[in-house]
Amino acid sequence: MSRQSNPVVTELSSGIWSTSPLYQNAVLDLDLAGRKMGIDPNVLDRLKAPKRAMCVTIPVRMDDGSVRNFEGYRVQHNTTLGPGKGGIRFHPEVNLSEVSALAMLMTMKCSLVGLPLGGAKGGVRVDPRKLSRPEHQALTRRFTMEIINMIGPEIDIPAPDVGTDGQHMAWMMDTYSMSKGHAIPGVVTGKPIEIGGSLGRVESTGRGVVYVIEHAIELLRKKGKANYQLKEMSAAVHGFGKVGSVAAHELAIRGCKVVAVSDFYGAIYNPKGLNVPEVVAYMDAHRNLKGYPHAEVITNEQLIALDVDILVPAAIDGVITAANVKNVKAKIISEGANGPITSEAQAYLEEHGVTVIPDILANAGGVIVSYFEWVQGMQQFFWNENEVNEKLAEVMAKAFNQVASVADRYHCGMKTAALISSVERLSKAMLLRGLFP
């Protein structure tokens, strides 16, 4: 079913949430899962729109003395299971619809992996590469003050996302704490270790992406569909940022041949396999992959079409679409980014036997360890990195097996199965809590 003919999207087309393809795809996928499982239509309708949203103007004094206004957003999609949870992204294409879609995905993600958290997201429409460090700090602190009544350790807990990192979370925590008169580390996650961050948090999303690839390979072997061994396979990673670089590293140390990675400017390719630690070091030194000497330059589109066993789209949404999906040759795709595959492309891949591990499962490692960080901060008792990684692996394994079981029960792909599993928990909680008043 195309987006153009889908009655759900048509119904929402005049709404303030529905302008982005990411939001339209999220609603389309949710509606498909809801119809498959026979969910209460009242619950399904409530899940198609966010609970609360705030749009703010953020005035910032720039280095040259001028004052520039930025658009900022914080959206809480659903808080039935607990406080909102979701990142803050700085990106030039941020808008209310995109942030609303990402908040919806966070709701589904938290529910799927069994966390007592709801879904939220935030963002500022800005190109972070064009800001100095003082401008980053001023923007982050003023944004925090603008949304301060929407966030808190028991209300809504931000984290890093595209264009932000632990330093931004440190500024957010300090701003919030100064307004309350004492240190409150639980207001954000993804903080530096020195001020209450968790060991393993930075690498958690990329690690989770690879954990579920291992489970998918094992499942395919058990079902007799393939005789894969990770150490004999090849991979390409689209996006070499916080998620993609860790995923590439984790694949490489398991013996997988990573032949291509990419950034905003393009991709590098070596059919014999890249030296991933060397590429990481080059990226750290140069801030991009331009000029890396031991590989040939290709485009991001060429990377997506490479004849590899595993593809990890770990950059942005909407990179695999109806226009290019027929070029994809990978047998397993693990969605490191949110919404990198459109609904039409997803259906095509599933029809052609490609195992697609959906974003709300594949990249859930970040929110899982964010939850661990939140718990550690509230208890003021911190775990070592082995404990964090073991608990992460345990939660990811349980969620993967649950999704695989639901896929078998409903005879559907893993994307729909993941949403069904998530919505089953959410709908029970929503019906039990009822509608107030």
**Which amino acids are annotated catalytic?**
121
Closest of 433, 333, 409 to residue 37, by C-alpha? 409
* Per-residue tokens: 53: 């949203």
As a three-state string, the secondary structure of the chain is CCCCCCHHHHHHCCCCCCCCHHHHHHHHHHHHHHHHHCCCHHHHHHHCCCCEEEEEEEEEECCCCCEEEEEEEEEEEECCCCCEEEEEEEECCCCHHHHHHHHHHHHHHHHHCCCCCEEEEEEEECCHHHCCHHHHHHHHHHHHHHCCCCCECCCEEEEECCCCCHHHHHHHHHHHHHHHCCCCHHHCCCCCHHHCCCCCCCCHHHHHHHHHHHHHHHHHHHCCCCCCCHHHCEEEEECCCCCHHHHHHHHHHCCCEEEEEEECCEEEECCCCCCHHHHHHHHHHHCCCCCCCCCEEECHHHHHCCCCCEEEECCCCCCECCCCHHHCCCCEEECCCCCCECHHHHHHHHHCCCEEECHHHHCCHHHHHHHHHHHHHHHCCCCCHHHHHHHHHHHHHHHHHHHHHHHHHHCCCHHHHHHHHHHHHHHHHHHHHCCCC
β-bridge mates for residue 1, sequence order: none
CA distance 362 to 250: 14
- How many alpha carbons lie under 13 Å from residue 206 in its C-beta half-sphere? 21
Q: How many C-alpha atoms does 147 have within 13 Å on its Cβ side? A: 34
Distance of alpha carbon 238 from alpha carbon 241, whole angstroms: 9
